[in-house]
Amino acid sequence: MLPFQLKRIGLITSGGDCGGLNAFLRGAAMTALHHGIEVVFIPNGNVGMYNLVDFKPSELKPVILDFVDDIDIGKSGSVAGNTRIKIKHIDEPHAWERVHAGMKKHKLDAVIICGGDGSGREANRYHKNGVKVIHAPKTMDLDLQCYSVGADSAINQFRKFLREVKYTGEAHNRIIIMKVFGALTGHTALRGGIAGDADTILIPEIPPDLSVVYEHMKKAFFARVESSPHKKGTYIIVVAEGLTDIEEEHKEQNETKIGVEQQIIRRLTEMMKNDPDIEKLMKKNHLFVKGQNEMPEIRAVEPLYLARSGDTMAMDINFGMEIGAGAVTLLQQGLSGVTVLGIKGNEVRYMPTKKAVERRYVDENLVRWYEMMGFCFGRKPSECKPVLVQAKANKTPTRVY
């Protein structure tokens, strides 16, 4: 007999939406139904949990197999709905009592919360307030200790956008800056930028020297123009949204009010205006028109929320279903306050949620490899020092990220 007899559980998708959430819902629901456990999709995340006590039983029925089977696991978003609301932020002294009353009313034994670092910390609060809970990792920032559902889909969306924005960049000989996800870390910018063949990738972990970016840009852009039979070229800069340290000593007092991409445009434009080589290079390539086309134009694009939409990648579909199944299994074994990391063979891997949500930063050793391959990270390239490690044979693949 299992340590904890589950009869009914609730599934919550919390925080921002992304690809893979529907796969998580189906994976968890199908596994639970297989074991005779009823499943309720909590509407709209913690908003639904807070208002659970007000739902009539007829309004919150357990899902049936046919409904779960029809969930489009390749579709982004969540059929259960998302919200960024946290119970701790609700101005109600008896908020947790409402949660418990709602769970009792609808006979929920436990919940599974799929979300990022904030949702993971909220899951820990559920645990501390006496709710049996498992956290399933989800974030496009890739900054948890484990892989998180939604990351690969977002990275592939940014790769697609970068490829497409090059077309317009080349058509107008423009320099393009694209801002992507990464509030505190640069994993998504790094992976999406490399896959989309960007030229410069600026991340929070590496304070940028824009003079280095400028020299890299000037050399690469005009080399492309000169080698093109029709004098066409572009240059792509990817910027993580969390990057704020743009040459602090040069900042004007009001510059913090504009976005980081606009700060970069201002700096690079100033450098071009003060560089006598630019006029010479423009004239050499028959691009110069005084007062109208004296230097390459810099444009910024920000497709952040579009990265949440579109098709879910196979990696996130597989991973989403597996962590859903693994989370149910952990609940069956009586665990609570832990994060499911994934399935490896017949193993369900997990760790305490408070450890799982500790921030993981980009490894600078990885950056050095890409600097060696010609990518710019806003600094002078540092030496890559490889270490050789002979791996043992393994029947399961190591995750890419």
Give the 3-state secondary structure of residue 137.
strand
User: 339 in helix, strand or coil?
Assistant: strand
Question: Which amino acid belongs to residue 17?
Answer: D
Which listed residue (117, 141, 143, 199) is catalytic? 141
Q: Does 141 qualify as catalytic in the annotation?
A: yes
Cβ-contact 250, 268 below 8 angstroms: no
Contact predicate 367/381, CB 8 Å? no
What amino acid is encoded at 14 in this protein?
S
**H/E element, 28:** helix 21-34
Nearest Cα residue to 368 out of 181, 146, 190, 177: 190
Distance of alpha carbon 208 from alpha carbon 253, whole angstroms = 19
Q: Cα–Cα distance between 29 and 328 in angstroms, integer?
A: 8
Smallest Cα–Cα separation from 80: which of 120, 21, 34? Answer: 21
Alpha-carbon dihedral sign for residues 289, 292, 295, 296: negative
What 3-state class would DSSP assign to 93? coil
Q: Which of 355, 358, 338 is nearest to 132 (CA)?
A: 338
Residue carrying the six token digits 């490399």: 194
Beta pairing partners, 235: 175
Q: Are 194 and 238 in contact (CB under 8 A)?
A: no
Q: Which sequence positions are flagged as catalytic?
A: 141
